[in-house]
Structure 1
Amino acid sequence: MSKIEFLKEQFVESRNFVNRLVSEIPEDLWFTIPENTDSNFSWQIGHLMMAQNFHALTVITGRNEQVYKVIPVQFNKIFNGMGSLHRSVEQNIITAKELKEQFNMVHEICLDNLSKLNDDILFDALEPIPFKHPVADTKYEALSWCFKHEMWHAAEMEEIKRTLGHPIKWLKGAE
């Protein structure tokens, strides 16, 4: 298995984990900020969407025009989170259904892009961006961070879900 294939597999596995969380919380709770937290489910999904675009596309092959046909450019500011204290989003910005569709479309664009790459590019420097990448110097580091970052936020999403009265379900059918 090539390193690119391994990375792609990790993207799929981490997204399957997040999709399980998405399926376990009603959309009408996506915009609720539970007590003792500063975030809601909708912000987490939007943040993961924008982060995947950044870590798996922008710094790997450059700005992807397909993504910006799917998501509004102002979402970059709303869902960024780097140094931001604002980690929630209101329902009037986007519906949960629309956000879920965009989230899935960006993921598919990322997987398609990964399929076109080979291991030769992995230790190349990142594509130019106007600031220093927060964790990566090489394309491999950015791609590797992308799925790790998704799992980190999955833990936050699990806690939001649990706090909103939807218990952790580790196995299919478990209560």
Structure 2
Amino acid sequence: MIASRIDAFLTRMQFARMYTLRILETIDPGDWFRVPPAGVTHVAWQVGHLAFAEFRLILERLCGHSPGDSIGFPAEFITWFGRDSIASADAASYPDVATIRAVFDGVHSATLREIRHCSESDLDLPPLSPHPICQTRAEVLDWASAHEMLHAGQIGLLRRQLGAKPIW
């Protein structure tokens, strides 16, 4: 049996999240706000950015949700972790690790739930709001999993720059 496009998107998103979590589980929460020498970011920013991006890409552009609605995405995440934000080594500038992680997990759960309600025929429509590289909702879903893998790679690099050994 051929899987639906929705099922294929869900599989890719779940794989990307599994890979991200595999890396995160090896990083002490005390290191989440450490910026390596000559670095420009930290784990907390990467994780917060993934929550922000998944919300904006899917929950907003495909499902019509807004920050602060029933999904529970805090509007402040846009300022802290949005595309144009700059990571600060000052942990007091951000919510704590548990809060960032709760939003990261909550947005992902909501995303998986909402995608299951998408119609296959809607995938070829443009997103509800424009995206600079994605012209259709299917492209938005493809980009969401690719974007997470890109940032999982950055988290893995941060982990190594903080002195951890490679994991396989």
TM-score (norm 2): 0.91
Query: Which residues of structure 2 form unaligned runs of 5+?
Result: none
Letter in 2 for 1:13: F
2:162 — aligned with what? 164
Please give the alpha-carbon distance, in whole angstroms, between the structure 2 residues aligned to 1:12 and 1:66.
Answer: 23
What letter is aligned with 1:23? E
Matched, 1:94 2:95: yes
In angstroms, what is the RMSD of aligned CA positions? Answer: 1.4
Work out the CA distance in 2 between the residues paired with 1:74 and 1:134.
23
What is the match of residue 136 of structure 1? 134
Q: Given the alignment of the two structures, is residue 22 of structure 1 paired with residue 20 of structure 2, yes or no? A: no
One-letter identity of the residue aligned with 2:87: R
Secondary structure at the counterpart of residue 61 of structure 2: helix
Please report how far the alpha carbon of residue 74 of structure 1 lies from its aligned counterpart in structure 2 after TM superposition: 1.6
Q: Give 1:2's aligned amino acid.
A: S
Distance 2:77 2:89 in 1: 10
Identify which of 26, 32, 35 aligns with 2:34.
32
Q: Give the number of aligned pairs.
A: 163
C-alpha separation in 1, matches of 2:5 and 2:89: 36
What amino acid is the match of 1:91?
A: A
User: Structure 1 regions of 5+ residues with no counterpart?
Assistant: 171-175
Change (3 A) 1:135 1:98: same
- 2:110 matches 1:109: yes
Question: % of aligned pairs identical?
Answer: 25
Q: Pick closer, same or farther for the CA change 1:12–1:88 going to 2, 3 Å.
A: farther
How much does 1:78 deviate?
A: 1.4
- 2:70 matches 1:66: yes
CA deviation vs aligned residue, 1:58-96 (integer Å, no higher than 9, x gap): 1111125233x3x321211210124x5x13463222111
Q: 1:62 to 1:21 in 2, by over 3 A?
A: same
Cα separation, 2, equivalents of 1:24 and 1:141: 32
Cα contact 1:125–1:137 (8 A) shared by 2: yes
Deviation, 1:41, is 0.2
How many angstroms apart in 2 are the aligned matches of 1:152 and 1:55?
15
| Partner deviation per Cα, 1:116-142 (whole Å, 9 max, x = no partner) | 1121110101103xxx41211110111
2:52/2:82 contact within 8 Å kept? yes
Which residue is equivalent to 1:8?
10
Structure 1 contact 81–87 (Cα < 8 Å) conserved: no
Return the letter of the residue paired with 1:144: D
User: 1:13-57 CA distances to partner (integer Å, 9 max, x unpaired)?
Assistant: 000000011100000000000112200000000000000011111
TM-score by length of structure 1 reads 0.88
